Amino acid sequence: MTVLLPPMTEHPEQTLKRALALIGDGRLEDALALLAPLAARHPGVPAAVINHGELLRRLGRFDEAVAVLEKAVARLPDLPVARFNLALALRGAGRLEDALAVYREALRRQPDHGDGWYNQGNTLLDSGRDEEAVASYRRALQHLPPARQPRTLNNLGSALILLRRPTEAAAPLRDALALAPDYADAHLNLAVANERQGQMASAAAGYRRVSALRPDHWWHELHADLLCPDVFDDNAAIDAWQDGYAATLARWRDRPGQLDPAHLHHSGAEPPPTLMYQGRADLAVKSAHADLLAPRLPDYQPPAARTGGDRRRIGMVVNHGHEGIFIRSVLGLLPRLDRQRFEIVVAVTRPALDRTRAALGEDGITWLALDPRVDQAAAQLRAARLDLLYHWEVGSDSFNYFLPWLRPAPLQYTSWAWPLTTGIPAMDFFLSSDLVEPADAAHRYRENLITMPGNMFTWTTPPEPPSRPPTRGDFGLPERANLYLCAQNPRKIHPDFDPLVAAILERDPLGRVLLIGSQEGAETAPLRRRLQRRLGPLAERITLLPRQSRQRYLGLLGLADVVLDPPHYSGANTSYDALGLALPLITLPSPLLRGHFTAGLYGRMGLNGLIARDPDHYVDLAVALATDPALRAHWRDTLRQHNGALFHDERAVRELEDAWERMLGDG
């Protein structure tokens, strides 16, 4: 690199101009060679010092930038740009709360600073404070001229998508595109918003537009080809889509193009997550998809196994948007793990860190804040020198699907949170349970299948019913009705559930089936249309309730006469809830893990009377329980006597530790 030093006789203003010209040409290191000595010789000259700090920030030398800009703020407390640049540097250094404190003060002093509100919004988004980010972006729009609004409108739309409000997100994204028609990021976010609303044709057009604007980002066209409905009309539609999926993979197999690791986290090149809900075995298609991607990614080798140390270092990784169930599922496990044998590292993408850390605490846990970019997160995990990494979910989004490909640990595994094979050759193990897997289950997994003998994955406590239980009237439900509740999200309501519901309603004239809609709402309308088409007048006795708070949901459970599992994808945490409240839960197990959870819980309790043998038996059990109060009371008493086996289960801890030792070769 050529270092350009100013002539001794050059005026400071001339040196500053030369440095700014170099910055404009992208020669940042050369510019720094001019600015650093200039700022040192003239610490009272704002332009020299502030540009020096900003240049250090742009070079990624965030701690140095913070040090320079903190001194600038101390010397020039009334200069807003120094505070705003300091906040940017603090954000880059990962000091988000410090950055937000600086933004608050800077915006108090200059409340009409549109860029300040925009950048504060970005920092709030990094912190997982999405609602506050939305408010900050809206304030920014009040102070920015139209020509400078597109990026703020785009980020506002992105924040609303994260808040699962895609319908609301579409408006600012369209406004951004009206101002900047070729703005690829806004096209991408609008495509995501349309997909989340179930508007697949519009979503596909948007993804193809992004690929046209950025030809090297071909993966968005692949994603357009693989768009999948959330709710299918019938099994024939599922089969037709799966045939189309296989044909698409074959058509793409010989097309050129590499995947850029820097963009994997929002590539959409992973298998469609809705495969989970189709009731089919997934190994062949998931493996075919992985085999399409493998030659398009760098060949990541696992890091060398760690040597020395008395304890094995176990990592657990979860990304933003998935931390809620993760918290619930590991909350009881983490304090009970043997810290003499295992060091626990919980790695969370930065927007989810504060919530997860506050819920799980500090005791015996090493916390790692991950960059939302999957390649950067993988580098951080490699630097943590883990022995074994547990991926909470693999395949529910681009980040968690591609992270295992980058081999962030010598050994890695996943388990029941996204209960199907990943199909990824880099995933070493899938951890399951003998309670939910048949003897020949290994052939359904690309990973090495390891099973625990006697537990259902987690240590948990029984649910606490609400102190003031709601009434049927609180939900608009009739008093004189037999209530059959299926509390699963609409994606789990497989077409094979429809004839079961129809038979129940035909057999029980007082029967009413309760379903719960999705958080984003896109799945609710097509499910309602399908039920109306397939069930006719009987669909009038199906109520689709909105999503409920935790306490209202538990209160709703308490009002049900019978709880129903849908076929192919049973409840898991919801089954713990129902059985913990001693509510009869009818299940029709499938050979696949995701269709066998509830049957596994019954196996743990030593009960099988509510496990249906076939669809007719399922209907018989449901109607008998709903219409016979004495039978219902018998089963509630039976569940109260046996459901203690599901909770405070120390075997869940010991068997997990034993499984880790088997994976590590220590057992």
CA angle centred on 428, ends 336 and 268, rounded to 5°: 100
Pick the range with the lowest mean pLDDT from 114-128, 452-466, 500-514, 552-566: 452-466
User: What counts of helices (H) and strands (E) characterise the chain?
Assistant: 27, 12
Instruction: Give all strands (DSSP E) within 575-629, no chain letters.
Output: 585-586
Residue whose pair of structure tokens reads 């018989």 in the numeric block: 620
> Higher model confidence: residue 43 or residue 602?
602
Residue of 502, 654, 514 lying closest to 578 (CA atoms)? 514
472-646 has the same fold as 1-110: no
Asked if 127 and 354 count as a contact pair (C-beta separation under 8 A), the reply is yes
Query: Does residue 3 register a pLDDT over 50?
Result: no
Query: Does residue 8 register a pLDDT over 70?
Result: no
Mean pLDDT for the stretch of residues 27-56:
79
Neighbour order of strands in the sheet with 511-516: 542-545, 511-516, 482-486, 562-564, 585-586
Q: What is the DSSP letter of 566?
A: P
Residue of 193, 159, 198, 186 lying closest to 320 (CA atoms)? 159
Which amino acid, residue 225?
D
* Residue 249 tokens, joined: 């993979």
Query: Does residue 32 register a pLDDT over 60?
Result: yes
Which amino acid, residue 2?
T
How many CB atoms neighbour CB 262 within 10 A? 10
Query: Does residue 529 register a pLDDT over 80?
Result: yes
> What's the distance, Cα to Cα, between the start and end of the chain in Å?
54
pLDDT at 59: 86
Burial of 593 (0-12, 13-18, 19+ CB in 10 A): buried
pLDDT at 34: 79
Within 8 A by CB and 6+ apart from 541, the residues are 505, 511, 512, 513
pLDDT, tens digit (0-9, with 9 covering 90-100), for 329-367: 999 999 999 999 999 999 999 999 999 999 999 888 999
Average pLDDT score, the chain = 93
Residue of 543, 542, 560 lying closest to 470 (CA atoms)? 560
CA-based radius of gyration for the chain: 28
How many CB atoms neighbour CB 340 within 10 A? 8
Query: Does residue 172 register a pLDDT over 70?
Result: yes
User: What is the distance between the alpha carbons of residues 645 and 576, in angstroms, rounded to a whole number?
Assistant: 11
User: What is the distance between the alpha carbons of residues 135 and 143, in angstroms, rounded to a whole number?
Assistant: 13
pLDDT at 49: 80
Q: How remote is the C-alpha of 349 from its chain's centroid?
A: 10
User: What is the distance between the alpha carbons of residues 393 and 6, in angstroms, rounded to a whole number?
Assistant: 55
pLDDT at 53: 78
User: What is the distance between the alpha carbons of residues 503 and 285, in angstroms, rounded to a whole number?
Assistant: 34
Q: Report the share of the chain in percent with pLDDT over 90.
A: 82
Asked if 386 and 408 count as a contact pair (C-beta separation under 8 A), the reply is yes
Query: Does residue 35 register a pLDDT over 80?
Result: no
Torsion of CA 392, 395, 396, 397, to 10 degrees: 110
pLDDT band per the 50, 70, 90 thresholds, residue 519: low
User: CATH top-level class for 312-460+651-664?
Assistant: alpha beta
pLDDT band per the 50, 70, 90 thresholds, residue 98: very high
How many CB atoms neighbour CB 370 within 10 A? 26
Pick the range with the lowest mean pLDDT from 20-29, 353-362, 554-563: 20-29
User: What is the distance between the alpha carbons of residues 415 and 113, in angstroms, rounded to a whole number?
Assistant: 48
CATH of domain 1-110: 1.25.40.10
> Higher model confidence: residue 21 or residue 444?
444
pTM: 0.92
Query: Does residue 1 register a pLDDT over 50?
Result: no
Residue of 628, 547, 554, 621 lying closest to 589 (CA atoms)? 621
Query: Does residue 5 register a pLDDT over 80?
Result: no
Indicate the domain borders of the chain: 1-110, 312-460+651-664, 472-646
pLDDT, tens digit (0-9, with 9 covering 90-100), for 269-304: 999 999 999 999 999 999 999 999 999 999 999 999
Element (H, E) at 511: strand 511-516
pLDDT band per the 50, 70, 90 thresholds, residue 31: confident
Query: Does residue 2 register a pLDDT over 50?
Result: no
CATH of domain 472-646: 3.40.50.2000
Torsion of CA 344, 349, 351, 357, to 10 degrees: 0
User: What is the distance between the alpha carbons of residues 253 and 434, in angstroms, rounded to a whole number?
Assistant: 37
pLDDT band per the 50, 70, 90 thresholds, residue 520: low
Query: Does residue 9 register a pLDDT over 60?
Result: no
Query: Does residue 60 register a pLDDT over 70?
Result: yes
User: What is the distance between the alpha carbons of residues 315 and 330, in angstroms, rounded to a whole number?
Assistant: 13
Residue whose pair of structure tokens reads 């050059």 in the numeric block: 10
User: What is the distance between the alpha carbons of residues 384 and 386, in angstroms, rounded to a whole number?
Assistant: 6
CA atoms within 13 A on the CB side of 184: 11
pLDDT, tens digit (0-9, with 9 covering 90-100), for 201-211: 999 999 999 99
**Concatenated DSSP letters for 424-477?**
-TT--EEEEETTT--TTGGGG-SSEEEEESS--S----PPPPPSSPPPGGGGT-
pLDDT, tens digit (0-9, with 9 covering 90-100), for 621-647: 999 999 999 999 999 999 999 999 999
Burial of 509 (0-12, 13-18, 19+ CB in 10 A): exposed
User: What is the distance between the alpha carbons of residues 414 and 428, in angstroms, rounded to a whole number?
Assistant: 9
Asked if 523 and 489 count as a contact pair (C-beta separation under 8 A), the reply is yes
Residue of 588, 597, 515, 606 lying closest to 329 (CA atoms)? 597
Query: Does residue 667 register a pLDDT over 80?
Result: no
